Structure 1
Amino acid sequence: MLGTQAAERPPMPAPTPAPSALPAGSVRRRAGRPTAAILDQDGITTAALELISSKGYDGLTMAALARSLGVAPSALYNHVASKDDVLLLVEDHLAAMVDVSAFGVEAWDVAVRRWAWSYRDVFSEHTPLIPVIAVLPVANAPKTLAMYEAVTAGFRDDGFPEEKIISAIVALEAFVFGAAYDVTAPEDIFDAGSLAEQVPNFTAAVDRLAAEKHTRPTDVAFSLGLEALITGFGALRE
């Protein structure tokens, strides 16, 4: 009987492959986020700016930057050789925020004025970067070079002597950087204190400036110096 029943039993169907089965030789991709962050210059720049915003420039170290990116320092060094390289990325990012749109469109003095005010305002928020970028080569900084190209073309097209263009830009830039520091200076920086009677002319001039409440002293100084530079450089145009 057992033999007869076994003979009459219908054959079992072949097992159906599971829906998730993969062809032979293929490799399943692990679900979720990759185990290592994908690094590029934009990501490094963004992370550096976030660190600067939260911890200041002193808190921007290669180790801290690697931690914020979720990578080992060795991986970070595959993209930037040093902290100076990171600062160059940050400087290049900030240079793109400086307004050079008036060059070639507005009058030369209007364009210089708008560029200089914008330049000062951008870097007054990042004064610790100034001593570094002031001596950093601009090679491999495309946005910074684009800014200089626009300014140089504006000077040249308006008849400025070509051999003096870079010197004029450097002079303006030095003034802008110094003025950026002035924006963050304490309001009482020129208070002579207990020595006020020994410097009566200086004290009187400081008091007179302080009486002008309608304008920030730092803006008054910047406008005065900038207009003098524009007037002087304007006299050199052909």
Structure 2
Amino acid sequence: MTASTSVPAGPHSPADQHSPAAGPRRRVGRPAAAVLDQDGITAAALQLIGKSGYDGFTMAALARTLNVAPSALYNHVSSKRDVLVLVQDHLTSFVDVTAFENGPWEQAVRDWAWSYRDVFSKHTPLIPVIAVLPVADAPKTLAMYEAVSAGFSRAGFPQERIVPAIVAFESFIFGSAYDVTAPPDIFDSGSMAASTPNFTSAVNRLAEDSPQKPADVAFSLGLEALLAGLGALRAA
């Protein structure tokens, strides 16, 4: 049996790795910063719904999108509804309500309605859900409604008519958001053009006479009609 030989420790030897000069060792256990946050969850939910639709949106699918275990997701949100509230609040934060602060009521409503439509036209799969989602615990959504309600009140609307008026505008806005994404030939009569002469003529005339997109023409027409009709309620 040969005698043991002492070998000096090299720069990558175990002795050097555990010496104080080697620097701090990585802590074992959970990282100091959270892997998930509400902004990340919201962005992933929007991505998932945009790709798979609302029917494909489940907590398990959301966890897979985030590349985390479902248990990690539930550390930040307690249910699917909580995620939808985050999404609702995120989208609503892009709706412009600034004109309600000091602008004329009619122009404030125009700015709000066009902005509202444009935001949700990019996220139509969410409209059937968000349109009936309670606003409790949604601070940005409530802030929007507060600004709009204050503007309606300053314009002379009776308190009992403010919410019904907002709902009337929203019903029109959400429906119009779908129209933005409609195919250009949605009203093409095809082989039945001869049997629908009035409708076909109206469709052709719109295409010939208006430089605007048909969805914008329709939205402007409907919005002005709502403004005129609901605006009359201020003095009623």
Shorter-normalised TM-score: what interval?
A: 0.7 to 0.9
- Counterpart residue type for residue 157 of structure 2: F
- Counterpart residue type for residue 164 of structure 2: S
CA contact (8 A) 1:36 1:70 kept: no
Choose which of 109, 126, 145 in structure 2 pairs with 1:148: 145
Aligned to 2:5: none
Q: Kindly indicate whether residue 53 of structure 2 is the aligned counterpart of residue 57 of structure 1.
A: yes
> C-alpha distance in 1, partners of 2:117/2:65?
30
Aligned to 2:20: 19
Q: Which has the larger radius of gyration?
A: 1
> C-alpha distance in 2, partners of 1:95/1:151?
13
> C-alpha distance in 1, partners of 2:33/2:99?
44
Describe the superposition over 1:82-112 as per-residue Cα deviations: whole angstroms up to 9, x where unpaired. Answer: 3333222111100000000000211000000
Residues 171-210 of structure 1 mapped to structure 2, 5 A cutoff? 171-210=168-207
Q: Kindly indicate whether residue 133 of structure 2 is the aligned counterpart of residue 109 of structure 1.
A: no
Matched-pair identity in % = 70
Aligned to 2:92: 95
Q: How far off its partner does 1:21 sit?
A: 9.7
Q: Please, which runs of 5 or more residues in structure 2 have no aligned partner?
A: 1-17
Q: Please, which runs of 5 or more residues in structure 1 have no aligned partner?
A: 1-16
RMSD value, Cα: 2.7
Deviates more, 1:133-142 or 1:82-91: 82-91
CA contact (8 A) 2:88 2:130 kept: yes
> C-alpha distance in 2, partners of 1:168/1:64?
38
In structure 2, the CA distance between the partners of 1:33 and 1:61, relative to structure 1 (3 Å rule), is same
Q: How far off its partner does 1:63 sit?
A: 2.1
CA contact (8 A) 2:135 2:141 kept: yes
- Counterpart residue type for residue 226 of structure 1: L
TM-score, normalising length: structure 1: 0.82
> C-alpha distance in 2, partners of 1:215/1:110?
20
In structure 2, the CA distance between the partners of 1:230 and 1:187, relative to structure 1 (3 Å rule), is same
Q: Kindly indicate whether residue 183 of structure 2 is the aligned counterpart of residue 224 of structure 1.
A: no
TM-score, normalising length: structure 2: 0.83
CA contact (8 A) 1:103 1:111 kept: yes
Q: How far off its partner does 1:52 sit?
A: 4.3
> C-alpha distance in 1, partners of 2:76/2:53?
20
Q: Aligned to 2:157, what secondary structure does the other structure show? A: coil
Q: How far off its partner does 1:226 sit?
A: 0.1
